[in-house]
Structure 1
C-alpha cells in the first residue's frame, strides 16, 4: 500500500469523524436550543469551518482520491469524492446558504434534512476509508 493511499484513507477517516461528531453531538445539541439560537450557532459554525486546516484535509483528499481512482482503487476514491465532496457541494452547502438567507422558521426542516445527508456523508467517508485500506 502506497503513501497516497494511506494519506487518503486517513483523511477520509478524519472527515468521517467530523461528520460523526456533527451527527451524534453537534446537531442534537443544536436541536435542544431555541431556533433563533441554534440557527445563529450553525451560521457561525459554517463560517468557522472554512479554515485552512479543514480545507486542506477536505479538498486535498479530493485530489488524493482522484489519484486513487486512476490507480485502480475506484470504489474508495469515488466514495469520498461523491459521498463527501459532491454531496457537500450540492446538498449541504446550498442548505447552509439558504440558512443564511432565511428566518428561523427554516431551522426545523434544515436540521432534519441537513443531518440526514450528514449521516450519508459520514457513512460514505467511513466506507471510503475501509475500501481504500482494502485496496478497492
Structure 2
C-alpha cells in the first residue's frame, strides 16, 4: 500500500521535481527516472540480496585505504547527455571521484546489476546504453543470481 502523501503525478516531471519527491520518499518504494517518466522498482529476492551483500562486503574490504567508495542500491546514479536525464538505482556502484550530491553519483567507475527475470532486459539494453555515456565508467558488470556465468563487461 502506498502512502497517500507520496503520490507521483501522471504528467512528465522535471529532474528537479523528481529529486524533491524521491529524496523525501518514506514509503520504502524507490523510483527510477527516465526523461520525465517515473518507474517504481520492485523488491529483490533473497538470492539477489545475498549476491549484493557479498559483493559489497568484498568491495568494501578491497577498497579500504583508497579514495574509492562502494555504494549499494539506495544510492542513485545520474546519467545526463544533453536533454536526456536519467536516475537509476544500480545494485552496486563504486566511485573514486569527489561526488557533490548527497543522493546520487555522476561518475562511478564500476556499476553492477544483479539480473532478475523482471529486470534483465532493461539491464542489458536501456541501462547498458545509458551507462556507456558515463565518462569515468570503466566496467558495467551483469551478475546472474541463479547461475554462475561469466559475462563480459563493457567499457564506456
Q: Which has the higher contact order (CA 8 A, sep 6+)?
A: 1
- Give the TM-score taking structure 1 as reference length: 0.28
Greater helix share, 1 or 2?
1
Greater strand share, 1 or 2?
2
- Give the TM-score taking structure 2 as reference length: 0.25
